Amino acid sequence: MKITIIAAFMAVTALLSGCSGSTNSTDTSIPVETSATDNSIVESEAIAEESTSEEVEIFSDAEEVADPEPVAEKWTVSQENALGSAESYLAYSSFSREGLIKQLEFEGYSNQDSTWAVDMVNADWKEQAAKSAQSYLDYSSFSRSGLIDQLEFEGYTRAQAEYGVDQVGL
C-alpha cells in the first residue's frame, strides 16, 4: 500500500510539473504494481507527458512561421548580364523586341536569356518604333509605306510600325 501511495504521489507530481511547463529530464519513476484504481493516475501521467511534447512541437512550428526567410528571385548571372545589356542598348538607341533579342544573341547570350531579359525591361515597343522612325527620318527620306516596311523589317509589328510613323507625322 505504501508503494502505491508513493507511485500516486509521484504521478500527481509529474502531472503538475508537466502542466507548469517545466521540463525534468531525469526519470524518477519507480516501477510499481498498480491496482485498477491507480491506472487512472498512470494514464493521466502519460497524457500529461504527451501534451507537453505536443506543446513544444506547436511552439517550434510557430517560431518557424513567425520568422520566414524572404523569397528572393533567383536569376542566373547570364540573365542579369543580358538584362544589363538590354537596358544599356535601350538607353542610347531604339530597338524592336525582336531586334533587341537578336542583338543580345549576337552578343553571345542564349535565346532563352535574351528573351527573358528583353521581357524584363518592360519597354514600350510603340514608343521604340516612334524613336526608330524619327531616327530613320533624321538621315534619310521615306514614304509612309516605305518607313512602315522598314520598321517591320527591323522587327516591329505592323501596329507598332504604324504607330511610330504616325508619331513622326507621316
Q: What pLDDT is recorded for position 75?
A: 87
Q: What pLDDT is recorded for position 74?
A: 85
Q: What pLDDT is recorded for position 5?
A: 44
DSSP character string of the chain = -HHHHHHHHHHHHHHHHHHTT----S---------TTTHHHHHHHHHHHHHHHHHHHHHHHHHHHHSPPP------HHHHHHHHHHHHHHHHS---HHHHHHHHHHTT--HHHHHHHHHHTT--HHHHHHHHHHHHHHHS---HHHHHHHHHHTT--HHHHHHHHHHTT-
Q: What is the pLDDT along the chain (170 residues), one digit of tens a residue?
A: 444 444 444 444 444 444 444 444 444 444 444 444 444 444 444 444 554 444 444 444 444 555 555 545 788 999 999 999 999 999 999 999 999 999 999 999 999 999 999 999 999 999 999 999 999 999 999 999 999 999 999 999 999 999 999 999 99
Q: What pLDDT is recorded for position 72?
A: 54
